Amino acid sequence: MEYEIVKSSSEDFDRGIWEIFKFVTSTGDTYIYPPETTKAQARKIWMQERVCYVVKDKITSAIMATYTIRPNKSGLGSHVCNAGFMVHPHYQNRRLGQAMCEHSLIEAKKLGYFAMQFNVVVSTNERAVYLWKKMGFKVIGTVPQAFNHKTNGLVDIHIMHRFL
Amino acid sequence: MEYEIVKSSSEDFDRGIWEIFKFVTSTGDTYIYPPETTKAQARKIWMQERVCYVVKDKITSAIMATYTIRPNKSGLGSHVCNAGFMVHPHYQNRRLGQAMCEHSLIEAKKLGYFAMQFNVVVSTNERAVYLWKKMGFKVIGTVPQAFNHKTNGLVDIHIMHRFL
């Protein structure tokens, strides 16, 4: 299946991003946003004060996945960016996470960032930890019991980082 | 000098907090908020969605220092709090930082938090690193070159944590 990664339009939220956001957060095991996050809250989280991208099927234009880039901190820390990645469950196991991450590293550099940091990599999310390590990120810190996992209770959070 | 640590009123921002905020951020070496932060921005940062406390001179009611507590993350990470402490330069070297930290650990526990995390302890701020260690915090991670220090350029940030 051929796809392209492009900047999102505001219509993309209703055309697919919200469905992805809802699915990904519903499991309460990977993202800090609680499963009860509303559509309005999600729109604000994912579309405001960030640059948002979507992975689109080249033929059907279906939105398969999405990611965002934003400053990880404001002010004197704004040279480090943060990114978040979400894949629609129908399109998993197609390496879209890796494709988005590769894309994001180039985009973030173009946007003038110096490094990329993930603040909440849930330690039980082994696929994510494996993928980010493969993409050159290092675990630079682990916050004990900082994530209230839906099924496992309190689990550790990794902070991961790489220069661009 | 006798003082008390109490919850702030909204008038306290104009009565002393803004002056402290302005002084502390003007040096560009300890807080992520840039020296050019406006009064309106500072009010939003320090007084909204946080519990704010002030250290008051018992006799003159002068505001000597201030601190805030808030959830470090929303949603599934909201059981960990974050706190920020600022001392008026006229009242430094009186252990107000330590007094506020001791107070905050009790208050944070009362507020139902499970742990306290500092996201931005500038590595060159040796007094802060020393004090937080003395207060039971551990460096759980160091983000390389994540702080744009006014005089030293890019320096490391420590992330510090303790359970309550």
CA A150 to chain centre: 19
Q: CB–CB of B75 and A33 under 8 A?
A: yes
Q: Copy the structure tokens of residue A40.
A: 């309005």
Distance of residue A41 Cα from the nearest chain B Cα, in angstroms: 12
Distance of residue A83 Cα from the nearest chain B Cα, in angstroms: 16
Q: Is B1 helix (H, G, I), strand (E, B) or coil?
A: coil
Q: CB–CB of A73 and B32 under 8 A?
A: yes
SS3 of A6-30: EECCCCHHHHHHHHHHHHHHHCCCC
pTM of the model: 0.94
Residue B85 is predicted with a pLDDT of 98
CA A87 to chain centre: 9
Q: CB–CB of A33 and B146 under 8 A?
A: no
Please tell me the distance from the alpha carbon of residue A21 to that of residue A42, in angstroms, as a whole number. 7
Distance spanning both ends of chain B, measured CA to CA = 29
What does DSSP say about strands A51-57 and A80-87: parallel, antiparallel, or unpaired?
unpaired
Q: CB–CB of A32 and B149 under 8 A?
A: no
To test the contact with chain A by mutation, choose from B76, B78, B119, B156 the residue with the greatest count of A C-beta atoms within 10 A, namely B76
Residues in chain B: 164
Beta-carbon count within 10 A of A46 CB: 22
Q: CB–CB of A146 and B37 under 8 A?
A: no
Q: CB–CB of A142 and B144 under 8 A?
A: no
Q: Which of B37, B77, B146 sits opposite A120 (nearest CB)?
A: B77
Chain A residue with the nearest C-alpha to that of B33: A75
pLDDT digits (tens, 9 = 90+) for B40-81: 999 999 999 999 999 999 999 999 999 999 999 999 999 999
Q: What percent of chain B has pLDDT over 70?
A: 99
Residue B37 is predicted with a pLDDT of 96
pLDDT digits (tens, 9 = 90+) for B129-148: 999 999 999 999 999 999 99
Chain A residue with the nearest C-alpha to that of B121: A77
Low-confidence ranges of chain A (pLDDT < 70): 1
Cβ atoms of B110 and B127 within 8 Å: the answer is: no
Residue B75 is predicted with a pLDDT of 94
Q: Which of B75, B114, B143 sits opposite A117 (nearest CB)?
A: B143
Distance of residue A142 Cα from the nearest chain B Cα, in angstroms: 6
Chain B residue with the nearest C-alpha to that of A120: B77
Residue A1 is predicted with a pLDDT of 67
ipTM over 0.90: yes
Which residues in A lie closer than 8 A to residue B72 (C-beta atoms)?
Answer: 146
Q: CB–CB of B80 and A28 under 8 A?
A: no
| Whether the predicted pLDDT of B1 surpasses 70 | no
Q: Is B106 helix (H, G, I), strand (E, B) or coil?
A: helix
Residue B146 is predicted with a pLDDT of 97
Cβ atoms of A29 and A150 within 8 Å: the answer is: yes
Residue B39 is predicted with a pLDDT of 97
Residue B43 is predicted with a pLDDT of 97
Handedness of CA A65, A88, A143, B69 (dihedral sign): positive
Which residues in B lie closer than 8 A to residue A143 (C-beta atoms)?
Answer: 80, 117, 140-141, 159, 161
pLDDT digits (tens, 9 = 90+) for A15-42: 999 999 999 999 999 999 999 999 999 9
Chain B residue with the nearest C-alpha to that of A115: B146
Instruction: Name residue A57's beta-bridge partners.
Output: A3
Q: CB–CB of B75 and A37 under 8 A?
A: yes
Q: What is the mean pLDDT of chain B?
A: 96
Q: How does DSSP assign A120-142, residue by residue?
A: EEETT-HHHHHHHHHTT-EEEEE
